[in-house]
Amino acid sequence: MAETEPVRPDPDALAELAAREGRGRLKVFLGAAPGVGKTVEMLAEARRVHEAGRDVLVGLVETHGRAETEAAVGTLPRLPLRSMAYRGQALQEFDLDAALARHPAILLLDELAHTNAPGSRHPKRWQDVEELRDAGIEVWTTMNVQHLESSAEAVARVTGVRVAETVPDSVLAGADAVELVDLPPTELLERMRAGKIYRPEQAERALRGFFKEGALTALRELALRRTADRVDADVTDWMRRNAVAGPWPVGDRVLALVPGNAPADAVLQQARRIAVALRAPLLALHVELPGQSGDPGPGLALAQQLGAETEVTTATDLPGAILAHARLRNATHIIVGRGDPPLWRRLFGRTLIAALARRATEFTLHIVADAAARPAPPPRPAPAWTSWLVVPLLVGAATLVCGALDGIVPDAGLGMVYLAAIVAIAAATGPLQASLGAVLSFLAWNYLFLPPRYTLTIASAQDVLGAVMFGVVAALLTGTTGRLGRNVRMAATRLVALRRLAALSRRLNAQATLPELQMAVVEEASRIAGGPACLLLPLDEALATTLPGQFAREVAATDEPVLRAITPAHAVLDEGAMASARWAMANRREAGRGTATLPASVWRFVPLTAHRDGEASMLGLLGIRPEQDRPDPEAGRALEALVDQAVVALERARLVEAAARDRARGEAEALRTALLTSLGHDLRTPLTVIRGAAETLRVSNLPEATRADLLLSIEEEATRLARWMSAILDIVRLETGQLTPRREPLALREALENAAARAEKIHPGRPVVLEVADGLPRPRLDPSLLDRVLENLVDNALKYAEGRVRLGARREGAQVALTVEDDGPGIPPADLPRVFDAFFRVHRPDSVAAGSGLGLSICKGLVGAMGGRIAAESPIAEGRGTRITLRFPA
C-alpha cells in the first residue's frame, strides 16, 4: 500500500466484526482480588437495566454467605439451579439447558473461572458462556485477574499461591465490554478484617497468605494494565474498521521493522527494551519487496519469542508500506536498523532512514546501530607535510582559473586570482606556506600570462609596476592573513576552554556531598587527560570523612596518601605510582610522568593546595595517566583551571561539613546542658519529698492517717519521677532515630475513648468531652504511640483547663484531624513557635504543677515518626484556650 493511497477499512477487522454478528455479547466485570465488589456492581447495573424494561435473568450468583451480596439481588428473577449428586453430596450447579430454553436478553453468571461438577456438559463455566453466546444470549459475568491464563505464573510469583482455575486469554479478548471494579488495598483489607469477604477463620488464613498489601497492590496494577490493554485494543479495532488514519496519541505502541537480508537481533532487542520501558505492545513487521532475497523467518521467530505480534506484507514502496501499517495499527514508535545502503543512495538521500525521516512526521523514529559494526577510529591529526601540499594544489587551481579567464580578463587582472589563492593558503596553513605560495603564484603569472609569455622577463613598465605591487600586496596578505587565522583558531580554542571551565564550575557547585564532588573532579580530569584519573587525600583527612570525630582526631597525621576516587573503576595504582604520590604529598610538588621527579611512573600527580590565613594547606593529590609525556598547552591550561576549581570546591565542601559538625555539636551541647539543668532541678523536688517522707515514717507513733498520707506522697513522687525518666528516654530514642512505629489500621473513636477514660481515672471529677465525627477512616498508625501522645496532651490540657477538656476527631480532605482543646489561659503568641521545643516551659499560673518541658516535644517526635503533623493554636475563644491539632494521612 502506498502512503498516498486512500486509507480503507481493514478487511481483517471487518471480518472479526462480521464473525460477532449473531452471537450474544459478553460483558466481564474484572477485579484484582475477591471482595472488591464485582458481583455487587454487576447486580446493581442489572437492576437498573431490568427496571428500564430489559429481560434480565440471574443464572447463578455466588453470595458466599455475604448479606450485602444477597441483598443486591433484589427483585431480579432467578433461574432455578440444577441439583447434581457427587460423592454422596448434592451439588447446586448452573442449569445450562434451562437457560437456553428460557433464552433471556441478559443472563448473569458469576465466577467465569469456576470448574463445573463432574457430569456437566462442559468442564469449565467459560465454556458454558461460549455456548450461551452462540445461542444469541448476552452474558454478564465476573472474574479476577489472577484467573487469566497468562497471569497465573506472575500471580504465583507475587503471592506465593498458584491459581488452579484459569480462563484462556482469548475469552477476555473476545469480550465485547470489560468493566474494571477497583478498590484500594487498604480498604479491601479493612473489609476482610470486618468479615465482609470471608468468615473469620478463613479471613485469618487469607491475611497471612494471599491478602497482603504488597501482593494486592501488584494484583491491582495487573488488573489496571489488562483493562488498559483491552481499551487500547478496542481503540485500534475501531480505527481499523472505520479507516481512521493514526496514530492517535492515547497510548504507546512500538513497531519494529524486521529486515529480510540482515540480522534483526539488535533491532528487536532494542524495540523490546523500549516497549518494556513504555509498557507498550510490541509489533514486528516484515515488508517483502519485488526481487528481494532473504529469509525473514529467523527474525520473525525471535520477535515471537520476545512477545511481539508479527505480520508480513508485500509492497513496492517500502517507506510507504511501513508508515501505512504504523498508522493502521496506531503505532507511535518505529524502530529500524541503520543498515549498509549503497553509496549512491546515501549521496542522493534515497535511504530508508532518510525517507522515513522526511515522511514520518507524526511518529517517533528510532535508528538502531549494527551491533557487529566496529566503531570508527578517532581521527588522527594530519602530518605536518600536508600543509605544504596545499600550496601547489591551490596555486595550480588558480592557474586553471586564470587559463579559463585568459582573453576575457586583462593580464594584470589575472593577478587578483593568484592573490585570492595566497589569502586561502595563509588562512588555512601559515605565513611560511603563504610565502611559498606567493613566489609560485608570481612565477606562474609571469611565465604563463604576462608578455612576453613563456619567459620570466617583463616587457612593459606597466607590467613591472604590476609585478612589484603584486609582491608587496602578497607579502602584506601573507603576514596579516596568517596572523588572523592563528588568532581565530586561538580564540575558538579559548572559547571552548572557557565554556568547559564554566560547565565545570556549574558541575562542581551542583554536587551535594563530598564523595560526589570528588568523583566529579576525577571524571573531569580523566576527560582532559584522555586517560584514567584519581584523587588521593592525606591519611588523616581520609579518615576524617569516614570515622567518628574523636577517633579521627587521635590518628596521627602522616604523608601517606589514601585513594578516595578513581575512574575508570578498573584502573589501578602500582607501587611506582604510590611512590610518586608519597613524594608529591611530602614535598607539595608535582611528580611522575612528564615531570623532573620520578618520570618513569606512568601516573602524574598534581598537588591540590589551599591557602588559609596566609599558610598553605595540602588538600590532596590529583592523579592523571596522560597518553603523552607533555600534554598540549591547551590541555595543560585546562588542567590548571581544574586544579584551581577543585581546590575551591573541596575547600568549600570541607568548610560546609565543618560548619555542620559544629552546629550539630552545639545543638548536642545545648541539649546536654538543658538535660543536666533539668535533672538538677526536676529530680531535686521528688527526691526531697521521698527522702523526707521516708525519714518521717521511721517514727513509730505516727497516726495511721499520717502514715497513709506519707506513703501516698512517696508513691506519687515516685510515679512522677518514673514518668520523667521515661520522657528522657523517649527524647533520647527520638534524637538517635531508634523509634520505629508499628503501623496498622486504627479505629480513632476507640483510641479517643480509651484516652478519655485514662484521663478521668488520673483526674477524677474532670470530665473529657468527646466530639468524634461519624464515618471516619482507619489511618495506619501505631496504637501505643498514639496512646502516649493523647495521654500527654490530655494530661497537659487538664492541668491548665478551668472547665472541660474537649477531645475531637474529624476528616479534612485526605487527612484526619485529632484535636485537644482546653479553656485555660492559653499560650502567649510569642511562645507559640517554641512550644514544641525540648525543655521549653510556658509561664504558668501558680496553681499548675511544674512540668519537665518535654511532653509536647515528645508528642511532636512521636507524631512525626507516624507520618503526621502537630500544631498549636491560641487563643481559640474570647482570648482564652488552647487547641492542639494532630493531622495524619487518611
What are the residue boundaries of the structural domains of the chain, listed by start? 12-240, 246-368, 385-488, 514-639, 741-889
Task: Output 87 or 376, whichever has higher pLDDT.
Answer: 87
Report the pLDDT value the prediction gives residue 426, as an integer from 0 to 100.
75
Q: Do strands 591-592 and 815-822 pair parallel, antiparallel, or not at all (unpaired)?
A: unpaired
Backbone φ and ψ for 48, nearest 5 degrees, come out as -65, -40
Among the ranges 55-69, 193-207, 467-481, which has the highest mean pLDDT value?
55-69
For 553-647, strand residue ranges (E) read 561-567, 591-592, 604-612, 615-624
Q: Are 35 and 191 in contact (CB under 8 A)?
A: yes
Q: What is the distance between the alpha carbons of residues 332 and 254, in angstroms, rounded to a whole number?
A: 6
For the cut 50, the answer to whether the pLDDT of residue 5 exceeds it is no
Q: Are 353 and 277 in contact (CB under 8 A)?
A: no
Polymer length in residues for the chain: 890
Report the pLDDT value the prediction gives residue 139, as an integer from 0 to 100.
92
For the cut 60, the answer to whether the pLDDT of residue 14 exceeds it is no
DSSP 3-state assignment of 135?
Answer: coil
3-state secondary structure 491-534: HHHHHHHHHHHHHHHHHHHHCCCHHHHHHHHHHHHHHHHCCCEE
The tens digit of pLDDT for each residue in 167-199 reads: 888 888 788 888 888 878 777 777 776 666 766
Query: C-alpha 636: how far from its chain's center?
Result: 39
Say which residues have a Cβ less than 8 Å from residue 620's Cβ, sequence separation at least 6. Answer: 535, 536, 537, 538, 541, 561, 564, 608, 650
**Model-level pTM?**
0.38
For the cut 50, the answer to whether the pLDDT of residue 543 exceeds it is no
Report the pLDDT value the prediction gives residue 241, as an integer from 0 to 100.
57
Query: Could you tell me which CATH class the domain 514-639 is placed in?
Result: alpha beta
pLDDT band at residue 3 under the 50/70/90 scheme = very low
The CATH number assigned to the domain with range 246-368 reads 3.40.50.620
H or E stretch at 82: strand 82-86
The tens digit of pLDDT for each residue in 553-612 reads: 443 344 578 888 888 888 888 888 888 898 998 888 899 888 888 888 889 899 988 876
Number of helical H runs and strand E runs in the chain? 29, 24
Determine the residue type at 411.
D
Matching fold, domains 246-368 and 741-889: no
DSSP state of 790: H
The tens digit of pLDDT for each residue in 775-801 reads: 888 888 888 778 878 888 888 788 777
What 772-775 contacts at long range (C-beta under 8 Å, 24+ apart), as own/partner pairs, is 772/748, 772/808, 772/809, 773/809, 773/810, 773/811, 775/811
Question: For the residues 426-449, what does the mean pLDDT come to?
Answer: 78
Q: What is the distance between the alpha carbons of residues 840 and 834, in angstroms, rounded to a whole number?
A: 7
Question: For the residues 47-68, what does the mean pLDDT come to?
Answer: 84
The tens digit of pLDDT for each residue in 493-529 reads: 666 666 666 766 776 666 557 788 888 888 888 888 8
pLDDT band at residue 534 under the 50/70/90 scheme = very high
CATH number of this structure's domain 12-240, picked from the four choices 3.40.50.300, 3.40.50.720, 3.50.50.60, 3.90.25.10: 3.40.50.300
State the CATH architecture for 741-889.
2-Layer Sandwich (3.30)
How does the average pLDDT of the chain come out, rounded?
76
